[in-house]
Each structure stands twice: as C-alpha cells, then as structure tokens.
Structure 1
Amino acid sequence: MIRVGVIDSGGPVRDHLDDGQGHRAFRADGLCAPAGPDRLGHGSAVDSVIRRACPDVLIRHAQVFEDRPVTSAARVAAALDWLGGLAPELRPHLICLSLGLAADRRTLRDACTRLAGAQIPLVSAHPAQGKGCYPAGYPHVIAATGDARCGWDDLSLPRPDVLGAWCNSPERGQAGMGGASIGTARVAGHLAAIMARQGVMAGDQAWHVLRGRCRHIGPEQRRASHG
C-alpha cells in the first residue's frame, strides 16, 4: 500500500489511523496535537483527488491551518520533519503540499533538504502564472499547478520546471475547489498510482517519470478572466 502525507487543513472525519501517530496538527504556538476537524474542507478535497487516483492509498494528514488558509514556514517545516521522521513502516512514500509561501525561509528550505535526503518526493503547489513560491521553488521539490487543458488522465509541462494536471477547471464545466492546489493533488495522485504499479521511487526519479508522461508542452493560453 502506498502511503501519502498531506499537509493542509486536515482530512475527512472518517479517517482514523490507529498506529500511535494518527493525524497531527502543527499549531501557531509551536505545539503539536492530534488533528482537529477540517473546517475549510480543503484538505478533504485534496484527499479525495488522491484517493480517486489511487483508491488503496493510505493518507496521513498534517494540519497546518484551521479556519483560515494562513500558515507559516515554521508550521509547514515541522509537519515535513514529522512525516519524514516517522518509523519506516509508517513514513509516507510521497508528500503532497497543496499550498505555497511567498517568502524563502531557511527553516522551510532546511526541512525540504532533509526530506530530499530521506528520498521522499514532495509535490508542492506553484502558481500557474506569475511569481513562484516556496517550497515549490526549491531544488528536488516537484512543482505542480493546474492546467485547464488537462483531462483527468493528462499531465502537462507549462514551464520547464513545473508540472500541470487536471484541476477541476470551470473551463471544463466543473464546480467547486480548483486551481493550482487541486492540480497539485492530481499530480500527487498520478505519482501515487504510478508507485502502486511500478514501486516506490525517490524525488528525482519521480520527476522524470512524471515529465515523460506529459501530453502538453509549453504554456497554457489563458483568457484574462481565468483564475
């Protein structure tokens, strides 16, 4: 079974992991506690996309924000270190981080370096247009975004170092959450499904495997009103 770590707003109430670790919340005061309800529904939406792609996956949630989509480099770094430091039989085979921070912070960069050293791929959100963010901008992190050209089974390469995927785009008649965060979940789902078939792989190998499956190369031509 492929194990995925999701760093977000928490997960569905139905999920319970009775292994002494469970789902954890990394709070603004620096403390760690059992994860609470997903008040925003964002982490649950990410969870749903990954499970649709790889139904047998085991997902462990690290909650880094509650009722507002606001977090810090320190909270995300603590979540990365927790997931990467779990016992081998519990440690995720990949991590999905469907968010990005505007500033490059050493605490976050160092946590990503440690994760890369553990050979755990990190898929992180990157804006479809405009300035990049972190940790998607760090080496050995798989930067991902949404691409309205992509159907459920498609991948794209809108930029040389960014993967694009299905993102519940309204241009395809979809409703609800979408954009780069859902595209990131879809890239993570692609990777989880590939690992389930082909075996676990480290970040650089995962990047090349995903890149080799891209159907669309080059930037998406977006209308001015597209989000």
Structure 2
Amino acid sequence: MAAPQSPGSPSSRTASDTVTLGRALLWPTAVAGLGMLLIYNSIGPAADDKPPAAAAPAAPSSSPAGAVPRQASPSADPAPPLSRAMPIRLKIPAIAVDAPFTPLSIGADGRLNAPPLNDKNLVGWFQGGATPGERGASIVAGHVDTMTGPAVFLQLQFLRPGATVDITRADGRVATFKVDTVETFSKAKFPDKRVYADTPDAQLRLITCGGNYDRKVKDYEDNVVVFAHLDSTGKA
C-alpha cells in the first residue's frame, strides 16, 4: 500500500509529488458523520505478509459489505472516554507494532491524505475526527507495504479479538483498546457507514490494505479494518 505526501496545504503540493490513492479516502458529503471511503492505491510489488510466529493460524474474519459488525461482548465494560489529546505513539504487542503518529487531513480533492511513503514505520490519524480515547470512532491508517518493502501494518490482518492496542497521548495518558473484530472489505463495496459512523463510546478503527494484489492496476483489492473499543486508561 503506497501513500501520498505528508499532509499539507493544497497550494504546497504539485502534481509531481501527489500519489493517488485509487478510489481512496473519499469524503462523500451525503454520508453523515465520518462517512469516508478509506481505500488505498498501492505501487510496486506486494510484500510478503506471512503471519508472525505468535499469530493464530486461522485466517482473519471477513464480512460482506452491509453486514452488521459483531460488537464487543455484552460483558465488556468500555472505559469512560477521555478528553481530546493528540496521539503520540501506537503499540500493538501481538504484531510487534511500535510506531509514531502523524496527523492526516482531507485534501482539496476531498481525499484523506495518507502517511508519507518514505517512512515505513509511521501511522496516521484523522485529525478532523475523534482523537484516540475520545468519544467517537478514532481513525488510524497505516501502510501494509511501500515500494521499498513491508510497512507498519503488514501483519494487521492477523490480529485477533481480545488483542490490545496501546496509544500514548500528548496528555500523558495511555488509552488501551481491545480488539472486537478484524474484518476484510472489498474496496468496490466499502461500508463507510459501518466503519466511520459516530459511536456513543470511545472506539478505534485501524485500517490498511488487504486481499489480493492486482499487479496490473498496482492496487490491493480489499481493505482490512480492525474494530476496537476503549478498554482502560492509565498514565504513560
């Protein structure tokens, strides 16, 4: 999954340094709340995405567009939301992710910028939405690969329900999320309302490319989406 330049003002970008995202990160005004389509375009060969040794051997779950996602167990007690604070670092122990954040914004063309492709260990968060730990669905995106090899979310598809995601914030707090489901959606039928709809509690969406890699169009066919809820908070 390749991505465009770092977020910046439209006037500072030129055609030569803009990498399109395929059907990418569209922001349809007809959809309420965070109704955008996060669909990346990939350039270069697909990376080898074998599961880590600690990962379960079963394939990640996949749901058809329009189906209702499985929510956290009724016994789960989501932690109270935190106030707004910028995320600093993302850690996912189960897949050995430890990466800093960069803010992402909507460009003049209505597409969400993605993390710069010159840094394989970087994730982005949509700064126009909820910050991780704040009430609502916080959106975090990362590359599965770049032109130079595997990237930060290469193993995202192998996460399992119950895995934890720790996000250190600028206010000195750590928001710990627990994974509810890991689902794969066709880019042609991406369920934006399911993924980006507002929520009454603090939730998290981790998104990257997935599925088969089409070498002709240099794009992955699917997106992998991790649905998670805020489980606990503590001091950094």
Q: TM-score range by the shorter chain?
A: under 0.3
TM-score of the aligned structures, taking structure 1 as reference length: 0.25
TM-score by length of 2: 0.24
Higher relative contact order (CA 8 A, sep 6+): 2
